[in-house]
């Protein structure tokens, strides 16, 4: 037993209007009633336009799901047109924030330094970062997986209090497995998650390594979740498309428990 409580997070990406999101969270609530919710933490990450609506439903119906955001800016306020600050998210009872998702890195030019700023800003606002790391197919084929993901993680955690590191989450999401239908094997997922935990130990100490939760992300679905999450260093999943189906997402939560 690791003592770490698995975390299963649903990244809804750029899907669902606020009205559709209300329907999905309500259906998810019913679906989760059939799972062992005492064993797993669950978060959902709607688009910014749906955060307030989903928060209202979660609070009113006392749904045991944490509200999450898909991204954040590192400044509390200012002339940053189109951005959303950590203070704004915290006021909506957002508990988890995804930082450094591969789609942000690939399509919007986010650097390791930007990811590190977002991670620290999230912590300052009292929320928990889910720090994403992952390699491309070319990097994987060249044998650089370990160097890439560990390098991204070290850059993100540079200067962060080890006690804070113990409470955050890291998501290993191989870029080549996101939305492609391909995914790492259970042995791949365990090996990389173990390497990330070891890297945390080297930079932040044994307590941080023992406490940090390492998720796997990349084409996780109800059919493969149990195998992918079986490794001792895999502490849950960051789920994309499959999280839009309440029944399928609930099945993944059940597999994590």
Going from N- to C-terminal start, the domains of the chain cover 7-256
Taking alpha carbons only, the member of 156, 145, 161, 146 closest to residue 211 is 161
Per residue in 65-93, is it b (16+ CB within 10 Å) or e — as a string? bbbbbbbbbbeeeeeeeeebbbebbbebe
Written as tens digits, the pLDDT of the chain (257 aa) is: 478 999 999 999 999 999 999 999 999 999 998 766 678 999 999 999 999 999 999 999 999 999 999 999 999 999 999 999 999 999 999 999 999 999 999 999 999 999 999 999 999 999 999 999 999 999 999 999 999 999 999 999 999 999 999 999 999 999 988 777 777 899 999 999 999 999 999 999 999 999 999 999 988 999 999 999 999 999 999 999 999 999 999 999 999 98
Strand-pair category, 66-69 with 41-45: parallel
d(CA 17, CA 49): 7
Taking alpha carbons only, the member of 103, 172, 93 closest to residue 128 is 93
Cα Rg of the chain (Å, integer)? 17
* Residues carrying an active site annotation: 101, 173
pLDDT at 257: 86
Which phi and psi (to 5°) does residue 48 adopt? Answer: -55, -40
| Cα torsion angle, 58, 45, 156, 212, sign | positive
Per residue in 103-126, is it b (16+ CB within 10 Å) or e — as a string? bbbeeeebebebbbbbbbbbbebe
3-state secondary structure of 212: coil
The answer to whether 21 touches 234, Cβ cutoff 8 Å, is no
pLDDT digits (tens, 9 = 90+) for 226-252: 999 999 999 999 999 999 999 999 999
3-state secondary structure of 135: coil
Q: Which option is the CATH number for 7-256: 3.40.50.2300, 3.30.1050.10, 3.30.565.10, 3.20.20.70?
A: 3.20.20.70
The answer to whether 97 touches 129, Cβ cutoff 8 Å, is yes
pLDDT at 35: 67
pLDDT at 1: 40
| CA distances, 28 to each of 17, 197, 240 (Å) | 16, 31, 15
pLDDT at 33: 82
Taking alpha carbons only, the member of 98, 96, 49 closest to residue 68 is 96
pLDDT at 36: 65
Please give the structure tokens belonging to residue 239: 């789920």
Instruction: Please name the residues in contact with 139: beta carbons below 8 A apart, sequence gap of 6 or more.
Output: 145, 148
């Amino acid at each position: 037993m690791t003592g770490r409580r698995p975390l299963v997070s649903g990244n809804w990406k750029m899907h669902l209007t606020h009205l559709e999101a209300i329907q999905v969270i309500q259906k998810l609530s019913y679906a989760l009633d059939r799972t062992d919710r005492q064993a797993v933490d669950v978060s959902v990450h709607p688009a910014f336009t749906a955060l307030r609506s989903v928060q209202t439903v979660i609070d009113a119906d006392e749904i045991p799901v944490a509200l999450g955001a898909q991204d954040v800016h590192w400044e509390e306020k200012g002339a940053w047109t189109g951005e959303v600050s950590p203070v704004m998210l915290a006021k909506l009872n957002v508990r988890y924030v995804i930082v450094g998702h591969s789609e942000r890195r690939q399509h919007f030019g986010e650097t390791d330094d930007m990811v590190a700023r977002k991670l620290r800003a999230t912590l300052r606002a009292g929320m928990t970062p889910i720090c994403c790391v992952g390699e491309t197919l070319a990097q994987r084929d060249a044998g650089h997986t370990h160097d890439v993901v560990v390098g991204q993680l070290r850059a993100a955690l540079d200067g962060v209090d080890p006690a804070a590191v113990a409470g955050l989450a890291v998501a290993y999401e191989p870029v080549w497995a996101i939305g492609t239908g391909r995914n790492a094997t259970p042995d791949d997922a365990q090996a990389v998650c173990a390497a990330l935990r070891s890297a945390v130990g080297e930079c932040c100490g044994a307590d941080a390594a023992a406490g940090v939760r390492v998720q796997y992300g990349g084409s996780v679905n109800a059919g493969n979740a149990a195998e992918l999450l079986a490794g001792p260093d895999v502490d849950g999943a960051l789920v994309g498309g499959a999280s839009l189906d309440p029944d399928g997402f609930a099945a993944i939560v059940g597999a994590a428990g």
